[in-house]
Chains A and B, each alone.
Chain A
Amino acid sequence: KAGVTQTPRYLIKTRGQQVTLSCSPISGHRSVSWYQQTPGQGLQFLFEYFSETQRNKGNFPGRFSGRQFSNSRSEMNVSTLELGDSALYLCASSLAPAGGAYEQYFGPGTRLTVT
Chain B
Amino acid sequence: QQPVQSPQAVILREGEDAVINCSSSKALYSVHWYRQKHGEAPVFLMILLKGGEQKGHEKISASFNEKKQQSSLYLTASQLSYSGTYFCGTEANTGNQFYFGTGTSLTVIP
Residues of A within 8 A of B (CB): 33, 35, 42-43, 45, 48, 55-56, 90, 92, 97-109
Between-chain CB contacts (< 8 Å), 9 pairs: A42-B102, A43-B42, A45-B100, A97-B96, A99-B95, A101-B47, A104-B32, A107-B41, A109-B41
Least distance between A39 CB and chain B CB atoms (Å): 11
Least distance between A58 CB and chain B CB atoms (Å): 8
8 tightest CB-CB pairs across the interface, nearest first? A99-B91, A106-B41, A99-B98, A43-B100, A103-B44, A98-B98, A42-B103, A106-B42
Q: Give the secondary structure class of A's interface.
A: strand
Q: Are A99 and B44 in contact (CB under 8 A)?
A: no
| A99–B91 alpha-carbon span in the complex (Å) | 6
Closest to B52 in A: A101
Closest to B85 in A: A42
Tell me whether B74 is interfacial, beta carbon within 8 Å: no
Q: Are B47 and A45 in contact (CB under 8 A)?
A: no
Closest to A33 in B: B98
Closest to A59 in B: B1
Q: Are A99 and B102 in contact (CB under 8 A)?
A: no
Q: Are A56 and B91 in contact (CB under 8 A)?
A: no
Partner of A100, one of B29, B43, B100: B29
| A102–B100 alpha-carbon span in the complex (Å) | 15
| A104–B34 alpha-carbon span in the complex (Å) | 9
